[in-house]
């Protein structure tokens, strides 16, 4: 998974049906094939931040692409491992244990000519469902 630039912005809809502006910042980790990233969603209606996450995108010790992410709604870091790598679609899944028992999550990056759509699928003790998405466009700077 490669990023064209370090900054992406766009609009999306969260799990409560609210429109938001998303900003995804990504930076290569020097001398590695990993990336640091942060993703922020701000409700368009009133400018309130409705989501924040940050993490590391890379390859684990077993050679599996993974995302180590801390989301502001969760009590701990979750490790999403690659579940799908087809052309321009990269999906990373997580199944919680401990304080996150019953929680399942999938982060889906669907790349296109302008950037990518980031979809967060998740559920608690139920099958995965699309909960939020954001169409992000590459921005210089």
Q: Are 27 and 6 in contact (CB under 8 A)?
A: yes
**Inside any domain, residue 2:** no
Q: What is the pLDDT of residue 122?
A: 96
**Inside any domain, residue 141:** no
pLDDT in tens, 28-80: 999 999 999 999 999 999 999 999 999 999 999 999 999 999 999 999 999 99
**Inside any domain, residue 116:** yes
**Inside any domain, residue 12:** yes
List CB contacts of 132: < 8 A, sequence separation 6 or more: 12, 13, 14, 15, 41, 51, 119, 120
Question: Residue 48 maps to which CATH number?
Answer: 2.40.128.20
**Inside any domain, residue 24:** yes
What the block records as the tokens of 122 is 């998740």
Average pLDDT over residues 6-30: 97
Q: Which of 31, 9, 30, 6 is nearest to 20 (CA)?
A: 9
Q: What is the pLDDT of residue 1?
A: 85
Task: Please give the residue range of the domain that contains residue 92.
Answer: 7-136
Q: Could you give phi then psi for residue 99, rounded to 5 degrees?
A: -65, -10
Alpha-carbon distances, residue 66 vs 34, 56, 93, 109 (angstroms): 10, 8, 9, 13
State how many domains the chain has.
1
Q: What is the pLDDT of residue 140?
A: 79
**Inside any domain, residue 77:** yes
**Inside any domain, residue 87:** yes
Does residue 141 have a pLDDT over 80?
Answer: no
**Inside any domain, residue 1:** no
20 beta partners: 12, 43
Gap between the Cα atoms of 36 and 130, Å rounded: 24
Gap between the Cα atoms of 30 and 122, Å rounded: 32
């Amino acid at each position: 998974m490669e990023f064209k630039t370090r900054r992406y912005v766009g609009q999306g809809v969260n799990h409560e049906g609210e429109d938001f502006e998303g900003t995804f910042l990504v930076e290569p980790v020097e001398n590695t094939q990993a990336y640091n990233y942060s993703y922020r969603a701000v409700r368009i209606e009133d400018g309130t931040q409705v989501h924040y996450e940050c993490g590391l995108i890379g390859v684990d010790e077993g050679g599996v692409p993974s995302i180590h992410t801390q989301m502001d709604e969760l009590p701990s870091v979750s490790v999403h491992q690659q579940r799908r790598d087809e052309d321009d679609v990269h999906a990373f899944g997580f199944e919680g244990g401990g304080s996150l028992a019953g929680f399942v999550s999938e982060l889906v990056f669907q790349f296109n000519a302008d950037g990518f759509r980031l979809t967060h699928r998740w559920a608690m003790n139920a099958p995965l469902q699309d909960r939020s998405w954001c169409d992000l466009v590459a921005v210089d700077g």
